Amino acid sequence: MDLQAASRALILRAAESPAVAGFVRRHGLRLGASRFVAGVTVDDCVQVLRSLEARGFLTNTTLLGERVTNESEVAQTLDQYLELVDRLQREGLGTYLSVKLSQLGLDLGEELAYRTLRTLVDRAAARGRFVRTDMEESWRVDATLRIYRRLRADGYDNVGVVLQSYLYRSAEDLRQLLPLRPNVRIVKGAYLESPTVAFPRKADVDRNYKVLVEAAFLGGATVAVATHDERIHAHVVAFTRQHGIPPHAFQFQMLYGVRPGLQQDLLGRGYRVLVATPFGPDWYRYFMRRLAERPANVGFVLRNLVRR
C-alpha cells in the first residue's frame, strides 16, 4: 500500500471513532467543512447553485445523508427530494440530483429502493431533470446496477450511473452496461475497500480510470470525468481530440470547494464543468471522505484549528 492509500485508510478508520465524530460534528463547519458543503438548508444551497450557474458552471446537488434505518425515514428522504426537485424548478436552476440508494432504503430491501427511486425519477422526468445514482460500497454495486437497469427498462432515460475505478469489477460492469448507451460518471472511489475487491495502489486505480474512460467514450456512453487529477484531465483532453470528440460532448465533474482554480481553468478552455454541490445537516461522513481522498486537506483543517 502506498503512502497516499495508507493516509486515506487511516482517515477513514478515524472517521468511525465516536470521539472524532463528536469533535468534528461540533466544530467541523468552522474548521473547514463549509468549504466542501453548500450549507445546511435548501436556501443555503440555492444561493451557491445560483452563483455557480451565473459563472457558467453546470451543477448537481445531493441531500447529504446515508443509512436510513426504517421506511419512515425513507419516506421522509423521498419527500425532501421531491420538494427539492420542485424548488429547483421554481428557481429556474438547471441543477440535477445525485442520490445514494442507501438513503432511499436499499439496506431495507432492493424493491423498496427501486420503488422510491422510481418515484423520484418520475417526478424529475416531469420537470425535465436528470437523476444519477451514486455508487457506494462494493457490496451494494450489484443491487445498484440492477435498479439502474430496471429504470432504463421502464423507459426512463433521465437516469445515470457511477463506476469506480478502484474496483476490479468495474471494467466488466461497464462492458455489460454499454449496450444501454449509459450516462456514466467515472470516479476513483472514496470508500475503504479490501484488496480482494479493489486496487490497493493509486497507480493501478489511475491506470484503470483511463481504461474505463476510453472504453466508455468508444462504446458510445455519455461520459462524466469526475476527478481532480490533472494528469487524467490531460489524458482525456488528448484522447478526445485524437478521436474527434468535441468538448461539449462530455463533462468534467469536480467537487464544490476542491480546486476551484482548476475548475475555472477547464471552463475557460471551453470544457463543460459540473460542480457537485451537496448540502444538508448530515455532512460528517461526506466531509471525512473528502479528507481521505485528498489527505492534504487535513492540513487545511489543522490550520483552521490553530487559528481558533
**Is 122 a member of any domain?**
yes
Cβ contact 113:142 at 8 Å = no
**Is 14 a member of any domain?**
no
Q: What is the DSSP letter of 154?
A: T
**Is 23 a member of any domain?**
no
How many domains are there within the chain?
1
Q: Is 134 a catalytic residue?
A: yes
**Is 118 a member of any domain?**
yes
**Is 178 a member of any domain?**
yes
The C-alpha atoms of residue 9 and residue 39 are separated, in whole angstroms, by 27
**Is 15 a member of any domain?**
no
Residue bearing cell 487529477: 229
Q: Which entry of 134, 140, 173, 290 is annotated as an active-site residue?
A: 134
**Is 215 a member of any domain?**
yes
The C-alpha atoms of residue 85 and residue 101 are separated, in whole angstroms, by 17
Could you tell me which residues come within 8 angstroms of residue 294 by beta carbon, excluding any fewer than 6 positions away? 228, 258
Residue bearing cell 453546470: 58
End-to-end CA distance of the chain: 35
Please name the residue ranges forming H helices in the chain: 3-14, 18-31, 42-54, 71-91, 110-126, 141-153, 170-177, 202-218, 230-242, 260-268, 284-293, 296-307
> Mind listing the pLDDT tens digit of every residue in the chain (308 residues)?
555 666 556 655 655 656 655 555 555 555 566 788 998 899 999 999 999 999 999 999 999 986 899 999 999 999 999 999 999 999 999 999 999 999 999 999 999 999 999 999 999 999 999 999 999 999 999 999 999 999 999 999 999 999 999 999 999 999 999 999 999 999 999 888 999 999 999 999 999 999 999 999 999 999 999 999 999 999 999 999 999 999 999 999 999 998 999 999 999 999 999 999 999 887 777 777 777 766 555 554 444 433 44
Other C-beta atoms within 10 Å of 198: how many?
22
Residue 107 belongs to domain spanning: 38-282
**Is 145 a member of any domain?**
yes
Q: Is 175 a catalytic residue?
A: no
- For strands 183-187 and 251-255, give the pairing: unpaired
Which CATH number does the domain housing residue 83 bear? 3.20.20.220
Q: Which entry of 123, 132, 185, 290 is annotated as an active-site residue?
A: 185
